[in-house]
Amino acid sequence: MPRFTEPDGRIDIKSLSLDELTTELVALGSEKFRALQIWKWLWQKAARTFEEMTNISREWRDKLPAHFVIRELTPVGVLTSTDGTRKFLWHTADGQQIESVLIPDDDRLTLCVSTQVGCAMACSFCLTGDLGLKRHLRPAEIVNQPLQISRILPAGQRITNVVMMGMGEPLHNYDNLVAALRVYLHEHGLGMSHRRITVSTVGLVPAMKRLTDDLPVNLAVSLNASTEEQRRAVMPITKKYSMAELLEACRDLPIHHHKRITFEYVMMAGFNDSLEDAARLSKLLRGIRSKVNLIPYNENPQRDIQRPAAEVARAFQHYLVTRGVQCSIRSTRGKDISAACGQLGKADLASVAIFAESGA
């Protein structure tokens, strides 16, 4: 029996793989080819009802709703930043709230996707961790975010990149994440390139190894420290997987020669932003095909953490670059709507504009 069964016994069809859907339909007496027809309607044509599936016989269009349900996220509203970033708020079928962030940048349109309701990792600098983990998102809930946002984009505009950096720790929801990513990558699903998908993690070492074996997507590791003591102070996961163990695992990962591991480094003033930190970081990353993404902390009233001065971040970057480390400073996007890194899960619903999928 599939894992995603509704209280009424029907199956959440969009959380099934193509093979699982084929198995279910054959058990109901269908020919195998019908599964691919339905799959294309769900993911390529974004059908919301079985009635829309006009190349499916009337007999099966009437029969399918008794066995399957097409679940979608319920739009709650959208916040728009002065820089063009948009944060979409959704309700799941059980009333939980999640957020997705759409970031325009020249010819790129990047969607930051949530994989859990809340987060269990409790990193001290991240507001999402204050929520705790409420539950994992189903595969359908992970894939519905780009699917439903794509419906409201202007003609000729499309999501070019996806980053699993929204609410939650993606690798903590491993099976559902991978099931969703297979839909992203499938030629009859969303049809995205693996080069355009990045999965971020706090450093769940065994799951990192599994992911690189299972899928060819990009990997980003949230490092945020240059010593074990620093990292343990802000990232509790370090107590389970030390920084030394994490970096050794990164050295051993079978990264394709055209790819690099991205190390995300949230810079907090007076904590991890000194040139001594830069020197230690440079040494730590030796022997790892990598690049560093510096993220000056996004300040908020709920944390007594300060953002380093711009010149401090530039000096840190310069130190790394002059020692052969590929390094960039991430531009802060969507800070005025709490859509920046570490701010998700704190939307002010009173300021949210209601949107429908026919427009925003």
Of 3, 70, 11, 73, nearest in space to 42 by CA? 70
Over residues 44-74, the pLDDT tens digits come to: 999 999 999 999 999 999 999 999 999 999 9
Distance between CA atoms of residues 170 and 176, nearest Å: 9
Q: State the average pLDDT over residues 138-145.
A: 98
Give the model's pLDDT for residue 347: 59
Q: State the average pLDDT over residues 82-107.
A: 95
Give the model's pLDDT for residue 171: 98
Six-digit token pair at 162?
A: 């996806």
Q: State the average pLDDT over residues 91-119.
A: 96
Give the model's pLDDT for residue 343: 75
Give the model's pLDDT for residue 360: 42
Give the model's pLDDT for residue 330: 92
Give the model's pLDDT for residue 224: 98
Per-residue pLDDT at 241 exceeds 50: yes
Per-residue pLDDT at 215 exceeds 90: yes
- DSSP letters, 102-155, are EEEETTEEEEE---EEE-SS--TT-GGGGG-EEEEPPHHHHHHHHHHHHHTSPT
φ/ψ of 218, rounded to 5, equals -80, 150
Over residues 79-93, the pLDDT tens digits come to: 999 999 999 999 999
Task: Using alpha carbons, list the distances in angstroms from residue 244 to 62, 225, 228, 232.
Answer: 57, 12, 8, 12
Name all contacts of 79-84 with Cβ < 8 Å and 24+ positions apart: 79/337, 79/338, 79/339, 79/347, 79/351, 79/352, 79/353, 80/337, 80/353, 81/333, 81/334, 81/335, 81/336, 81/337, 81/339, 82/336, 83/333, 83/334
Six-digit token pair at 236?
A: 């509790």
Distance between CA atoms of residues 8 and 214, nearest Å: 33
Over residues 145-166, the pLDDT tens digits come to: 999 999 999 988 999 999 999 9
Q: State the average pLDDT over residues 270-290.
A: 97
Per-residue pLDDT at 269 exceeds 90: yes
Per the annotation, the verdict on 123 as an active-site residue is no
- Catalytic residue, chosen from 99, 141, 169, 264, is 99
pLDDT band with cut points at 50, 70 and 90 for residue 359: very low
- Catalytic residue, chosen from 112, 123, 327, 341, is 341
pLDDT band with cut points at 50, 70 and 90 for residue 299: confident
Give the model's pLDDT for residue 301: 84
What domains sit in the chain, N to C, each tagged with a CATH number?
11-69 (1.10.150.530), 74-351 (3.20.20.70)
Give the model's pLDDT for residue 156: 87
DSSP β-bridge partners for residue 293: 264, 328
Give the model's pLDDT for residue 354: 59
Per-residue pLDDT at 248 exceeds 80: yes
Let me know: does 101 contact 83? Beta carbons within 8 Å. Answer: no
Per-residue pLDDT at 204 exceeds 70: yes
pLDDT band with cut points at 50, 70 and 90 for residue 256: confident
Give the model's pLDDT for residue 351: 54
Per the annotation, the verdict on 341 as an active-site residue is yes
Per-residue pLDDT at 245 exceeds 60: yes
Over residues 14-35, the pLDDT tens digits come to: 999 999 999 999 999 999 999 9
